[in-house]
Every structure is written in structure tokens, then in C-alpha cells.
Chains A and B, each alone.
Chain A
Amino acid sequence: GQQVMQIPQYQHVQEGEDFTTYCNSSTTLSNIQWYKQRPGGHPVFLIQLVKSGEVKKQKRLTFQFGEAKKNSSLHITATQTTDVGTYFCAGPGDNYGQNFVFGPGTRLSVLP
């Protein structure tokens, strides 16, 4: 089945520093979604990317979908302690879009 990988697995940053997590797939993705899970919480949807080369912004968060639709990135500018959590990308789990698979996630720690 479909697999997506993420790097890095962990990232520790000082508050105010930037942060980027990368998501990669061996096959072309029809679309990709990003979720955030706070410690002790459940994943919450952030955004969906569909078009090749698409870039979307949410305040300090910038999401990008690669031209080949095999990779994606999430960049956070000037991290804050509220950004702490695990960021997951997720793609279609089969060709029919009947389920989806998550990447292993990147756990972000922000030191005040």
C-alpha cells in the first residue's frame, strides 16, 4: 500500500526559530493533508493540498506541495510555545481514496 515518510522524526528549537518538516512519497499523491496533534490530544486537520506546486499559508505556517506531487513541506516561521506537538502528513491509502495513511510524524519541541 501507499507509504509516506517524514523527516525529521524530532526537532527541538528555541522559541523564535523557524521549523520545517518534510513529507515524501515513493508514488505520486493525488493530494496531501497535514494534521497537528498536541501532546495528550488527538490529530486536528490543518490543511489540504491538491495542485502541483501549490503553496498555502496560515499565519506563520506555510505548506507546499511539490511539483511532482511526491513531496510536501510544512514551514513554521518564528515558532511559539503553542506550536509544540506532532505534525503528521497523510495521503491516500489506496487508489480509490477509500482510506488514508499517515506519515510517522515530526515531533516539535519549542524551548522558551
Chain B
Amino acid sequence: EADIYQTPRYLVIGTGKKITLECSQTMGHDKMYWYQQDPGMELHLIHYSYGVNSTEKGDLSSESTVSRIRTEHFPLTLESARPSHTSQYLCASSMGQWGNTEAFFGQGTRLTVV
């Protein structure tokens, strides 16, 4: 079983609120990723990190920000939630260069903005 955790699992929040989605892994992985996914649809990379103090934006334009102050922690923050942010957010981690190891995914946070 993968040691990567996301909280909360479900969140319903009002428009304009600031929210932080938490992601932690205990595997010592250097790479971490955030994906946005509508049910049964594509995975869109929104942010990733090579390691501590490194963050990069993915292919999907996002109004969110991330930080990587500790290896094990990669939180995602929405400064002002909107209904268009309603989706599932998946966090993942891997070790080393892509192709050397697999990616492990958390169970996801299902966000609903009303």
C-alpha cells in the first residue's frame, strides 16, 4: 500500500473562500505532482516539484499555488475558490527520474465549490 495521503477526502466550500489541500508522503520521494481530474476523464498536470524549494507549473492553467518546504509535504492552495474549481484533485509522488520508478497516487480530494 502506497504511503501517500491526501486530506480532506471531500470538501464543500463557498465561492471566494481560500482553501488548502494537503498531501503528504512518507516514502522520501523527491518528485511530487498535483493533477486535476473530472470524474472518469483525463488527468491534467497542474503543478509539480523536483524537490524541496522547487515548484513548476504543469500544462493546465491553474489559479492555484503550491509550496515544497519539506520533502514529504506538497500542499495546494486556492486563494479564492470558484465553481469552476469543482473537481477531483490527485496528488502523486515518485522517486528519481521518470521511468526509473512508478508514480504513487493519493486517494484524492473531491472539491465542490458552491
Task: Tell me if A73 is interfacial: C-beta within 8 Å of chain B.
Answer: no
| Residue numbers in A under 8 Å from B45 (CB-CB) | 93, 99, 101-102
A13 to B102, CA, bound (A): 29
B 91-106 binary contact with A (CB < 8 Å = 1; else 0): 0100001111011111
Closest chain-B Cβ to A105's Cβ sits at a distance in Å of: 6
A99-B99 in contact (CB<8A): no
**Nearest-CB residue, chain B, relative to A10:** B40
Task: Tell me if A71 is interfacial: C-beta within 8 Å of chain B.
Answer: no
Chain B, range 38-97, C-beta contacts under 8 Å to A:
40-43, 45, 48, 50, 56, 58-59, 90, 92, 97
Chain A, range 8-49, C-beta contacts under 8 Å to B:
30-31, 33, 35, 39, 41-45, 48
Number of A-B contacts (CB under 8 A): 67
| Secondary structure call for the B interface | loop
A20 to B19, CA, bound (A): 41
Task: Tell me if A112 is interfacial: C-beta within 8 Å of chain B.
Answer: no
A45-B50 in contact (CB<8A): no
A45-B107 in contact (CB<8A): no
**Nearest-CB residue, chain B, relative to A43:** B105
- Can you list 6 A-B pairs, Cβ within 8 angstroms, ordered by A? A31-B98, A31-B99, A45-B102, A45-B104, A92-B98, A98-B56
Residues of B within 8 A of A (CB): 31, 33, 35, 40-43, 45, 48, 50, 56, 58-59, 90, 92, 97-100, 102-108
